Chains A and B, each alone.
Chain A
Amino acid sequence: DAGVIQSPRHEVTEMGQEVTLRCKLISGHNSLFWYRQTMMRGLELLIYFNNNVPIDDSGMPEDRFSAKMPNASFSTLKIQPSEPRDSAVYFCASSLASGGNFGQFFGPGTRLTVL
């Protein structure tokens, strides 16, 4: 299995532009998580889905952020319009089962720079 796949790996854009980050889950996993990593706050959970349904989006910073899971294996995180403070590394992760003893498998991340 190729693991969790994220694209693009790097994204540089200008303030006000729309940004779409993509994530492909590990086959068979049923939970999907979007995180943002910053120096000050570490790994922040933005939103997570279970069986394609958004369970908790309380970490989504503003209405400018939206996430979708159109099918069981794919998710997008969209920022519109983007701002310089959105610059961070965005990770998606997937897991097989609910319950805390199963670790999450992370993708390599997308480094977003908003100028």
Chain B
Amino acid sequence: DQQVKQNSPSLSVQEGRISILNCDYTNSMFDYFLWYKKYPAEGPTFLISISSIKDKNEDGRFTVFLNKSAKHLSLHIVPSQPGDSAVYFCAASGLTGNQFYFGTGTSLTVIP
């Protein structure tokens, strides 16, 4: 049973526009949420995270928003660049351990 879901397998965005990637989760006990970026033939790399006590975390062009009541988080990339083209995984973990639950990923294509 998928505790973390990414319902959009792919997304295409024009360069310079905003990319919004979405993620839903089912377990209200999750305390941390993370986004990973994955290029072909490489392992996922950590991008940005947010604690459940916050509703927004920003790092340069990347902002993660958390809506706990809706059990929903999103990653905004502004402005999008061709180098952002990759698969993005969201992940969630609980406070007591370091086990992570990953979504199935969203493949982002930024069109020059």
Contacts and interface: CB of A to CB of B under 8 A. Distances in A.
Interface stretch (B38-46, B65-73, B76-84): B38-46
A99 B96 CA distance: 6
B100 to A, nearest CB: 6
A102 B89 contact: no
B95 A99 contact: yes
Interface string A102-115: 11111111000000
A94 B31 CA distance: 20
Given A40-B104, A99-B95, A101-B51, 17 more contacts: A31-B98, A39-B104, A42-B89, A43-B44, A43-B105, A45-B99, A56-B99, A93-B43, A95-B98, A97-B98, A98-B98, A99-B32, A99-B98, A100-B34, A100-B95, A101-B32, A104-B46
Interface residues of B, number: 30
Interface in A15-60: 31, 33, 35, 39-45, 48, 50, 55-56
A67 interface: no
Interface footprint category on A: 20 to 34
A41 B104 contact: yes
Interface of A: 4, 31, 33, 35, 39-45, 48, 50, 55-56, 91, 93, 95, 97-109
Interface of B: 2, 6, 30-32, 34, 36, 41-46, 49, 51, 89, 91-95, 97-105
Nearest to B35: A103
A56 B101 CA distance: 13
A106 to B, nearest CB: 3
22 contacts: A4-B43, A31-B98, A33-B100, A42-B102, A42-B104, A42-B105, A44-B102, A91-B44, A98-B97, A98-B98, A99-B95, A100-B30, A100-B32, A100-B34, A100-B92, A100-B98, A100-B100, A103-B49, A104-B100, A107-B43, A109-B41, A109-B42
